[in-house]
Amino acid sequence: MRSLLFLILTMLYLNVFSQRSISVQPIKPDESVQQELLQKTQRFTEAWGKSDTATLRKLLAAEYRHSDIWGKIQHKEDWLSYAATPRKISDIVSSDVEMLLYNNNIAVITGKMSYRFGEEKLPQEIRFTQLWTTSEGEWKRAAFQATLIDKSR
């Protein structure tokens, strides 16, 4: 979690000081930007479920960092190697997906994902946070952090 927070703060810091006019206030994106990001988030989820690394690679930023439900952090190529391994995932449903923060070329998206995994089709749910950045008009996922929702409590 500290790594993700550090990455977000670093990205915000770089964004602020790389702009000609300094503005750290989140702004509301126009509807087309919001829809594009939410569609890319869904496209990414579907590609992950199918181990479609060609699509995933197009949607990942060069500096991508992935923090999984066990706290393991992977860089882009390591995570793509993991994602290439076929998994028995079905019934993927994203919900509560919303843009939490937006500031021109950075967006933070949160939500919940439910799916079934393994031969036994065990249900699993996670809460996630995604950091998306844009460069030259193309949105890419730069960071991801997931937390397992413990149903036993």
CATH of the domain at 32: 3.10.450.50
Predicted pLDDT at 18: 57
Predicted pLDDT at 153: 67
Alpha carbons 88 and 31: distance in angstroms, whole number: 35
Residue whose C-alpha is closest to residue 68's, from 132, 128, 6, 150? 128
Does some domain include residue 35?
yes
Does some domain include residue 153?
no
- pTM value is 0.76
Q: Which residues contact 151 (CB under 8 A, 6 or more apart)?
A: 125
Does some domain include residue 66?
yes
State residue 50 phi and psi, 5-degree precision.
-100, 0
Per the CB < 8 A criterion, the answer to whether 127 and 146 are in contact is: yes
Does some domain include residue 98?
yes
Looking at residue 137, the DSSP 8-state letter turns out to be T
Q: What is the pLDDT along the chain (153 residues), one digit of tens a residue?
A: 666 556 566 665 656 555 555 555 667 777 888 889 999 999 998 899 889 999 999 999 999 999 988 889 999 999 999 999 887 777 878 888 888 888 878 999 999 988 887 788 888 898 999 999 997 789 999 999 999 888 776
Does some domain include residue 39?
yes
Alpha carbons 88 and 102: distance in angstroms, whole number: 34
Question: Can you give the residue range of the structural domain that contains 127?
Answer: 2-148
Predicted pLDDT at 16: 55
Does some domain include residue 99?
yes
Predicted pLDDT at 108: 93
E runs forming strands in 41-104: 60-67, 73-75, 89-102
Total structural domains within the chain? 1
Alpha carbons 54 and 46: distance in angstroms, whole number: 12
Alpha carbons 77 and 128: distance in angstroms, whole number: 20
